[in-house]
A and B are shown apart, each in its own frame.
Chain A
Amino acid sequence: MRNLFIITFALIFAFAGTAFAQQRTLTGTVTSASDGLPLPGVTVVVQGSPGIGTVTNADGEYSLRAPEGAEALVFSFIGMKTQTVNLGSSNVINVVLETSTEALDEVVVTAFGIERQKKALGYSMQELKAEEFTEARETNVANSLKGKVAGVHINSSSSGGAGGSSYVVIRGNSSLTGDNKPLFIVDGVPIDNRTIDQPNSFDGYDYGDGIGNINPDNIASMSVLKGPSAAALYGARGANGVILITTKTGKRGQGIGVEVNSNFTFENPSVNPTFQNTWGGGYDDDYSAFGTTTIDGEEVLVWPGWLLDQWGGRMDGRPIIYEYAPEWGVQSYSPQPVDNIKNFYRTGSTFSNTVAISGGTEKSALRLSVSDMRNESIVPNSSLKRQSISLRASSQVSKKLFVDAKIDYTRQEGNNRVQNGISLINLPASLEILPRSVDLEWMKDYRKEDGRMQNYKSGVPFNPYWITERFKNNDTRDRVMGLARVKYDFTNWLSIQGRTGTDFYTDRRFAMIPQGTPGAARINGQVQNTMWNVKEENSDVLLTATGDLSADFSGTFSLGANHLNREQEVVGVRGENLDVPEIYHINYAAQVFPRNYLEQKQINSVYFTGQLAYKDFLFLDVTGRNDWSSTLGLDNQSFFYPSVSVGYLFTETFDLNPGFVTFGKLRGSYAQAGNDANPYQTKAGYSYNSIAFNGLRMATITSRIPLLDLKNELTTSYEIGVDLRLFNNRLGIDLTYYDQSTRNQIIPIEVSAATGFSNRMINAGEIRNHGFELMLNSTVLKLGQFQWNMDLNLSNNKSEVVSLAPGIDSHTLLSGDGTIEARVGESYGNIVGFAKMRNEAGQIVVDENGKWQKAESMTVLGNIQPDLLGGFTNTFSYKGLSLSGLLDFRIGGQIYSYSKYDQMAKGTGKFTEARDPEDLIVDGVIEDPDGDIVVGGKTYRKNDIQLLSHQYYAEQGPWGGIAETMVIDADYVAFREVSLGYSFPARLLEKTPFNNAKLSIVGRNLFYLYRDPEFKVMGISPETAFNTEAYAQGVEARGLPTTRSFGFNLFLSF
């Protein structure tokens, strides 16, 4: 801390010292012509004396001591046209800069909302403008980033379609504890992006995350700060990168303006599971699992109530009745139509409308927006509504005082969200493994006379109509995000800002299980009411000094402090055994189980940031931050971490660069970022079971071994990059290489059951991620008004689990046949399990009965992380017309597919259709002393033993515990997005009240150009996940079908 003081004072003195050394003081404000906002970082120099100059501060203000004889000032800023102003008698010179058409002079929003010239940054970041996510939109705006930002991996949660959470990870997963998501900051204030009570691999509802609650129409821009260097100032939670969202504001000095955006899309399943249409229920390829009965003198097959698997005889049209559904009567034993399942879904739709009014006087600005979004899911009875109202006001109260406030209220209401995951009680499972002989039409009468569920069998899976018609859940979320900011300028070089922001929401969730649902705990119905209160408050102060240190050096130094308070409480009741028919209220539950859990954490922080610019080509950024977190061990609550970055514009200094290089920058950075823990990891204890036995309470010890001296995780990163613009900006290349390691991982390592515990908190281990990111922007063709732009982004990330705890070489992220784990020396997210037994020559070795065998021990079968992610955008524009298409792709990595597990275990999959006896011989060898095949000192003969279909298929994977069979390459190329837009020309609008109008036709998730043939034949998408944790991205767990959407977007302003 001592060093911090010294640096602070030294810098402040330096600024003060230089500020008083010259003669005529000129001051003023530089604003942007496009939006009236102040422009920070504008270079102001005295004409003819380039050594005498300064840059504007965060509020666009400058102060310059000019020599007596000075005649004019030159204002220059990247992205703006340079302006020269002659000096008169006034010492106050305000300037409005106009936007330059030069594409390279980009201004971006960085940490603390400071707009900076992109050229001055020493680290990699990427900014997206509003059109990129408002036209072809997703209900969760984060999903729109897919394929658009290099180094960002996005997967939407498959749970429940609209309103679901989004998996967003920048530069690979670096933490084992699960949360690898970046920090989302809206107008300088962090929001809570958790998905509370998120689904697990079995079941659960996804009630959405924080970013999904933001109305895309209010967003002006999004900046993705990729590494710790960009995000170092955000402390503990910035270690995974930061996504900065700047919302729209009113404009000072303009009249009233109105914007209307209207968007309508409809969606349909684009990828549907496929089925075999030949074989019926049973085992042994015959009808022995069935009973028989005689009806009207005819022998009729009886489908027994326990039967699900489809390894029986041919569906040959003979008469059949279903023991468990006698009301269906005698049916012909035949495959049902292919669209039997697909037709279950309906066409979904989303209609969103936003109206925004903005206006401003000389001193104040205001923007009010109201929006409404209504979504009907492809699943019958499932819908989502979201209304929001947002008010932003700011005022330059006096010359020195600026105030700014925002309040944003969102109400979201979900109805009948869909549960997925691998539990057979879920909808997708009930459709995917429906026996081929059962027509969905028969099941529409889902309720029997006695009130129980109608089905072709007992227990699970359920009748899908029972799920969509009888299971009910609804939820409402009231969310308020707000901020208040006050800024006071002491002098023209010193200012202080105070800000407080809040994000709080209340979720009310109700879910019930209808009476008559199979299962002892379900048969009499269940209800559940849950209320979540989540609050995140951030308050900060920031003292900023800006000015020139000498003729060549200018800089900014800020010193700040932040206080974070986060609270989360759940209060709920769950009731079983409802006493009154069809009344689903907790009052009528015979047994009631309460739930209450409160979690709080605080982080106090102090930090500094300094930027130093040498002339116009060398930029140095230094930051440091110290956090005190309540979640760490008593002696380890305080931790410090620094960052430094350099940007060097070599094209500004040398004439060496060949003529075709318009702009060139080298950048490099080093940063550390600490990360604290979740609450309550430092102490053990005992807790009561929710269920008593005969009135006696029961308690058990916690399943986790705590760590009393818990320390923070520490991420250290290096990054170098080059930014080149060539051929007069026709081609832009931005290449970054990064290498980051996270040490002292806070890991609940899974320990042997023999310890008596499930896991143990430790601080150990290191995960390294390194890779490159490449962005290419080019104007391929420019002919008059016609322009063709091509953008490509690519990123590659390699991760390595460098170490875990001493003596521990693997950490399970998700258990299963295909366990997902972190293993020392390997990439994060290995899929581990049993392969088929093979000999040294790679031949499959079957047992003496010709059956599949598991390998001796488990091996690594794949890895969940992609090698390469990318997006490829082509935009064609002619006058007001533009056509844009995005392909995105993934190369590398695997997925454990539960759909394959099901289709293979139950025999419904298309790929199990080949069941002629000669097809059911494993292509392998049998150990045989008299065999003619010699491999590795053993002799084998060619296998020629015919198996039964279930032995050939089900035992090849699911039944045999051979995980290898379910591990499939996750590669894909998707036609992600297309949009055709037309901006009405001004002359057409002249006679209308509108001054701007744009109509777009958009499509998203159109189709796959490529996916693994196995996924293709199964009719499954490789892009679903049951929740937003890293491990979940490696499991395809029977999500809803992915959907394709088409729609219209109309934007009007007047």
Chain B
Amino acid sequence: MQLFNRFKKITAFTMIILMVGACTGDFEEMNTNPTLLTEDGVQTSVLFTSVLKHSIFASYENTGGRVGEFSQYYASQASGNLFSTSDYTSPFNWYRDYIININEIIRLTADDPQKTDQNAMARIWKVWVYHMMTDAYGDIPYFEAALGVDDVINQPKYDTQEAIYTDMLNELKEAATQLGSLGDQESFGNSDILYQGNVESWEKLANSLRLRLAIRVRFANESLASQHITDVVNAPLIDKNSENASLETLPPSESENSSNVNFVYNRNLTATTPMFVGFAITDVMIPTDDPRMPVFFTPSQDGEESYRGRPIQLAQGQKEPYGQEMVASVGPLLNADIYEIIVMNAAEVFFLRAEAAFANITGEDAEELYLMGIQHSMEQYNVDESEVADFLNEEGVVLEGSDEEQFEKIVTQKYIAMFFQGYQGWAEMRRTGYPKVWIGDEKGVVDHIPRRFTYPNDEFLKNEENVAAAASAIGGDELDTKVWWDKRPGLPFEHPMQDVFPPN
């Protein structure tokens, strides 16, 4: 009997123990991170601000790195051999930084009739981010990339640049149509730091961007280009500086953080070495005595007041004439406490239209559009009208000469008008061959400005099969492999002074 009682006690004890163990009722709540917002809790506008701010700043700040040196808008004295194999992780990491978040906005707004405008704006912005990425690398993951938590593909396939461009052009076309199609909508409002939710402005950006993309592919797929150019050229485009897509950095005194401030201004706070300018940009501005030079550049400090920039790849013995005091550095425009980062400006749109007209894709007047482009750029930088008039009469500016010479002038003026948009400068230089770039004797793995970035090392670890397939499809993962739209024959052109030292 005593034993039985004990037995009962032990049974009860065991039962209690097991019940304690299995008591897991509040485990789910305990394991929910209180700092995370759920899909229902997050506002798409807050995601949108983040993507806009960070991607626009990145496009500008990257110009202070290799993209800037390749575009020749910027040069660093400390850079040694730039034509080297390096791990080019940016802009590939933009998938993580921007594309995934834009895709979330697109997904979260897709089925909401109150958010079709938001949806369209996100689709437009996605193209703006993506085209810089594919321009930098060539073929990249696109259709299988950044699909979201539930649909993620661990190892996304690479798509051809042609397929990507074809889709981006269609996206822009559809998004422009979608904008405003359902009347009054829930707006991004001030969270849209680019246009404050203005539907018309977004439509113009979509159309202008479509024009840029179409022009970019015209040597690779003429019919695709023509089809979009003729379609878009009569649609509303950015044609005033007041409509420029741009974002101002915040004043240092009022900014929440130094990361919201002009990075050149920040850099100058403690740096002793100025940010130099590239040789090519000065090489095309000096001969025409371009009145934008005092805005863009600070002249050399050796008493010569020279606007001459610093060439790339200087070898031992070539650096002497390009010492710290002897070259121009970036000017008041970039050194200011507030910088207006350009996403796309009216001047560029005029030059795009000029090129389309010049190539007989449209029936517009190429020369008139060319001059409009220059004037809008001058206006953007508040250049005195008399100086503009003088400039337009410069031999190097007047649109005359052979077809190739005229083409060079259109492209060169656009290159100047896109100052410090490193991704654009580098892409257009590769597409057209202008401006021609003088290269120093420092031997790199290529002997001209690289035609693309090599894929990040990380991809060969995480997505090996697909990146290897892409590498072989584009003809090798090399710095001098041409991307799909890079089809103009004879490129790169050699600089006329290539065999002379110093070139000036």
A interface residue numbers (CB < 8 A to B): 1, 5, 8, 12, 16, 283-286, 288-289, 291, 304-306, 323-324, 457-459, 490, 494, 496, 518-521, 523, 541, 543, 559-561, 563, 576, 591, 596-598, 600-602, 604-606, 626, 628-631, 634, 637-638, 679-680, 682-689, 691-703, 705-706, 749-758, 760, 805, 807-810, 812, 815, 819, 821, 832, 847-849, 851, 854, 857-858, 948, 950, 955, 959-961
CA distance A755 to B149 in the complex (A): 9
Known: A291-B325, A755-B145. A687 touches B35 (CB 8 A): yes
Q: Which residues of A sit under 8 angstroms from B84, Cβ to Cβ?
A: 959-960
Known: A684-B149, A752-B156. A637 touches B27 (CB 8 A): yes
Is B240 interfacial (CB 8 A cutoff)? no
CA distance A289 to B316 in the complex (A): 10
B13 contacts A543, C-beta separation under 8 Å: yes
- A948's nearest neighbour on chain B, judged by CB, is B316
A753 contacts B92, C-beta separation under 8 Å: yes
B31 contacts A680, C-beta separation under 8 Å: yes
Q: Which residues of A sit under 8 angstroms from B14, Cβ to Cβ?
A: 5, 8, 559
CA distance A955 to B146 in the complex (A): 36
Known: A518-B270, A630-B31, A637-B27. A754 touches B141 (CB 8 A): yes
Q: Which residues of B sit under 8 angstroms from A689, Cβ to Cβ?
A: 50
For A606, give its contact among B3, B18, B317 (CB under 8 Å): B18
Known: A291-B324, A520-B267, A755-B146. A604 touches B23 (CB 8 A): yes
Q: Which residues of B sit under 8 angstroms from A685, Cβ to Cβ?
A: 33, 36-39, 42
Is B498 interfacial (CB 8 A cutoff)? no
For B49, give its contact among A283, A693, A810 (CB under 8 Å): A693
B154 contacts A755, C-beta separation under 8 Å: yes
Interface size class of B (residues with CB under 8 A): 35 or more
CA distance A363 to B159 in the complex (A): 81
Q: Which residues of A sit under 8 angstroms from B103, Cβ to Cβ?
A: 756
Contact string against A for B residues 254-273, beta-carbon threshold 8 Å, 1 for contact and 0 otherwise: 00111111000011011111
Number of residue pairs A-B, CB distance < 8 angstroms? 289
For A521, give its contact among B39, B257, B271 (CB under 8 Å): B257
Known: A5-B14, A306-B78. A700 touches B95 (CB 8 A): no
Known: A598-B34, A752-B458. A604 touches B21 (CB 8 A): yes
B36 contacts A696, C-beta separation under 8 Å: no
Known: A304-B273, A520-B267, A755-B154. A284 touches B260 (CB 8 A): no
B256 contacts A691, C-beta separation under 8 Å: yes
B22 contacts A628, C-beta separation under 8 Å: yes
User: What are the 5 tightest A-B residue pairs by CB atom distance, in nearest-first order?
Assistant: A756-B100, A305-B272, A685-B36, A756-B146, A520-B266
- B83 CB to closest chain A CB (Å) equals 12
Instruction: State which of B65-73, B209-217, B460-468 sits at the interface with chain A.
Output: B460-468
Known: A561-B20, A760-B154, A821-B461. A705 touches B149 (CB 8 A): yes
A284 contacts B140, C-beta separation under 8 Å: no
- B15's nearest neighbour on chain A, judged by CB, is A5
Contact string against A for B residues 316-346, beta-carbon threshold 8 Å, 1 for contact and 0 otherwise: 1101100111000000000000000000000
B22 contacts A459, C-beta separation under 8 Å: no
B154 contacts A807, C-beta separation under 8 Å: yes
Extra contacts besides A288-B320, A756-B152 (4): CB < 8 Å: A601-B31, A700-B47, A752-B463, A754-B459
Q: Which residues of A sit under 8 angstroms from B260, Cβ to Cβ?
A: 691, 693-694
A702 contacts B100, C-beta separation under 8 Å: no
Known: A306-B272, A523-B270, A808-B154. A559 touches B17 (CB 8 A): yes
CA distance A741 to B274 in the complex (A): 57
- B437 CB to closest chain A CB (Å) equals 20
Known: A757-B100, A961-B86. A686 touches B155 (CB 8 A): no
| Pairs A–B under 8 Å by Cβ, sample size 11 | A8-B10, A291-B324, A628-B24, A680-B33, A686-B47, A691-B257, A694-B260, A750-B462, A755-B152, A756-B148, A810-B461
- A542's nearest neighbour on chain B, judged by CB, is B17
Q: Which residues of B sit under 8 angstroms from A637, Cβ to Cβ?
A: 24, 27
CA distance A103 to B190 in the complex (A): 81
Q: Which residues of A sit under 8 angstroms from B287, Cβ to Cβ?
A: none
B271 contacts A691, C-beta separation under 8 Å: no
Within 8 A of A (CB), among B447-504: 456-464
For B95, give its contact among A12, A523, A754, A858 (CB under 8 Å): A754
CA distance A755 to B92 in the complex (A): 11
Is B294 interfacial (CB 8 A cutoff)? no
CA distance A851 to B80 in the complex (A): 14
Known: A756-B99, A807-B155. A849 touches B80 (CB 8 A): no
B154 contacts A756, C-beta separation under 8 Å: no
CA distance A598 to B319 in the complex (A): 56
- B272's nearest neighbour on chain A, judged by CB, is A305
- B273's nearest neighbour on chain A, judged by CB, is A306
Q: Which residues of B sit under 8 angstroms from A706, Cβ to Cβ?
A: 149
B443 contacts A851, C-beta separation under 8 Å: yes
Is B85 interfacial (CB 8 A cutoff)? yes
Is B191 interfacial (CB 8 A cutoff)? yes
Q: Which residues of B sit under 8 angstroms from A306, Cβ to Cβ?
A: 77-78, 271-273
Q: Which residues of A sit under 8 angstroms from B258, Cβ to Cβ?
A: 520-521, 576
Q: Which residues of B sit under 8 angstroms from A756, Cβ to Cβ?
A: 95-96, 99-100, 103, 145-148, 152
A699 contacts B42, C-beta separation under 8 Å: yes
Is B392 interfacial (CB 8 A cutoff)? no
- A748 CB to closest chain B CB (Å) equals 13
- B103's nearest neighbour on chain A, judged by CB, is A756
Is B389 interfacial (CB 8 A cutoff)? no
Is B173 interfacial (CB 8 A cutoff)? no
B30 contacts A600, C-beta separation under 8 Å: yes
- B313 CB to closest chain A CB (Å) equals 12
- A749's nearest neighbour on chain B, judged by CB, is B154
- A762's nearest neighbour on chain B, judged by CB, is B154
Known: A12-B10, A602-B27, A698-B53. A950 touches B80 (CB 8 A): yes
Q: Which residues of A sit under 8 angstroms from B163, Cβ to Cβ?
A: none
Q: Which residues of B sit under 8 angstroms from A560, Cβ to Cβ?
A: 17
Known: A458-B271, A561-B20, A604-B20. A591 touches B323 (CB 8 A): no
- B257's nearest neighbour on chain A, judged by CB, is A691
CA distance A316 to B20 in the complex (A): 79
Is B242 interfacial (CB 8 A cutoff)? no
- A836 CB to closest chain B CB (Å) equals 13
Q: Which residues of B sit under 8 angstroms from A289, Cβ to Cβ?
A: 319
Contact string against A for B residues 167-187, beta-carbon threshold 8 Å, 1 for contact and 0 otherwise: 000000000000000000000
Known: A602-B27, A604-B20, A750-B462. A700 touches B50 (CB 8 A): yes
Is B101 interfacial (CB 8 A cutoff)? yes
CA distance A5 to B12 in the complex (A): 12
- B87's nearest neighbour on chain A, judged by CB, is A961
- A617 CB to closest chain B CB (Å) equals 31
CA distance A686 to B456 in the complex (A): 27
- B329 CB to closest chain A CB (Å) equals 13
CA distance A283 to B442 in the complex (A): 13
CA distance A508 to B336 in the complex (A): 41
Q: Which residues of A sit under 8 angstroms from B6, Cβ to Cβ?
A: 16, 490, 494
Is B235 interfacial (CB 8 A cutoff)? no
CA distance A692 to B259 in the complex (A): 10
